Structure 1
Amino acid sequence: MANTRKIITLSAPLIIFFALCFFLFKGLYSDPRKLDSALIGQSVPEFSLQDIYDPEKQYDASIFKKQKLLLNVWATWCPTCYAEHKFLNKLAEKGIYIVGMNYKDNRSKAIKWLTDLNDPYKISVFDKDGMLGLDLGVYGAPETFLIDSKGIIQYRHVGDLNAEVWRNELSDRFEKME
């Protein structure tokens, strides 16, 4: 009995060490941009948010039930959002319907941003406190969701949206949506 206890006591640190090594090794080969969303296949959560330009104008989840679209989460404090903004304008010029969600930001800075850099969004909602972002599982900006015409989230992309990402990850998915 004493021998068994001694073996367990001596082997426990070794077992813990190997378990830790396994998880660290596994983490080396994971893509930090691949963040699965529990909302894939579900409706956009209910919300009520102000328009970025007009605080008197309110939007709710019905804005996602008209046609297939991109929901782009962005902020002026996000340097990667600045990098992706030109590409969003190109997509808008091609007729892609984009809803912008300004996330945990300053309204006046956001309006200046959209005025200076052109506004690619058909609708811009202001998520000052990040509550819709929280409901969507947003980790930060930028993030882009593909949403079908029934308001169902079909895909989530974390990181900047650029020509390569559009071509390799999103374009086909977007085209196949209804």
Structure 2
Amino acid sequence: MENEQSSLLKRFMPLIIFAALVTLLAIGLTLNPRLVPSPLINKPAPEFELPLLLEQGSFSDKDFLGEVTLLNVFASWCISCRQEHEVIKYLVRKGVRVVGLNYKDEPEDAKKWLAALGNPYYKVAADYDGLAGIDWGVYATPETFLIDKDGIIRHKVIGPLTDKEKLDGLMAAMALLNK
């Protein structure tokens, strides 16, 4: 009897393992990769200093100090960034300070893009080689970071702010910081 059970178990073990792997794969496929939490949340903004795109000078992590700021990572070649741009302009009209981080873009392309769509940004820093983006954990555009007046990252949105749920989450986080 015991040999029979052992033999059955041995015979069905590959099927059991296969079913478990298929189940794990199916669960993994239902997860949204844009909901991956950032390890930077509640940590100081990474140290950086980048040239400004539209004027002389530079922008650094120290420039976040003193005012709640959104850092919006965008590029002229990014279709979602174009869709999100009206939302960025809306936020600026509401009094939100938004800094643009132009990511892995040609300077002239970025300048033309902003000239055509309007430049809502307080400042636009240029990350030509993407190295600052690596420090920020950027792996796609657009991405938006909420930085408090002490330079601490409090919220991150991956993807365009055209999604109401993402925008509502960002606005709620901003409201808490502005109390």
Range class of TM-score, shorter chain: 0.7 to 0.9
Distance 2:65 2:170 in 1: 20
User: Which amino acid in the other structure matches residue 97 of structure 2?
Assistant: Y
Deviation at 1:15, TM superposition (A): 4.8
User: Which amino acid in the other structure matches residue 18 of structure 2?
Assistant: F
Q: Residues 43, 7 of structure 1: CA spacing in aligned structure 2 closer, same or farther, 3 A cutoff?
A: farther
Q: Mapping of 1:119-130 within 5 angstroms? A: 119-130=119-130
TM-score of the aligned structures, taking structure 1 as reference length: 0.88
Deviation at 1:16, TM superposition (A): 4.0
Query: Is 1:34 aligned to residue 35 of structure 2?
Result: yes
Q: Residues 13, 154 of structure 1: CA spacing in aligned structure 2 closer, same or farther, 3 A cutoff?
A: same
Larger radius of gyration: 2
- In structure 1, stretches of 5+ residues that fail to align are none
The residue matched to 1:120 in structure 2 has which SS?
A: coil
Corresponding residue of 1:133: 133
Give the length in aligned residue pairs: 176
Q: How high is the sequence identity, in percent, across the aligned residues?
A: 39
Distance 2:166 2:31 in 1: 21
TM-score of the aligned structures, taking structure 2 as reference length: 0.87
- Please report the RMSD computed on the Cα atoms of aligned residues, expressed in angstroms: 2.3
Distance 1:132 1:9 in 2: 53
Q: Residues 119, 98 of structure 1: CA spacing in aligned structure 2 closer, same or farther, 3 A cutoff?
A: same
Q: Mapping of 1:84-163 within 5 angstroms? A: 84-162=84-162
Distance 2:12 2:59 in 1: 59
- In structure 2, stretches of 5+ residues that fail to align are none
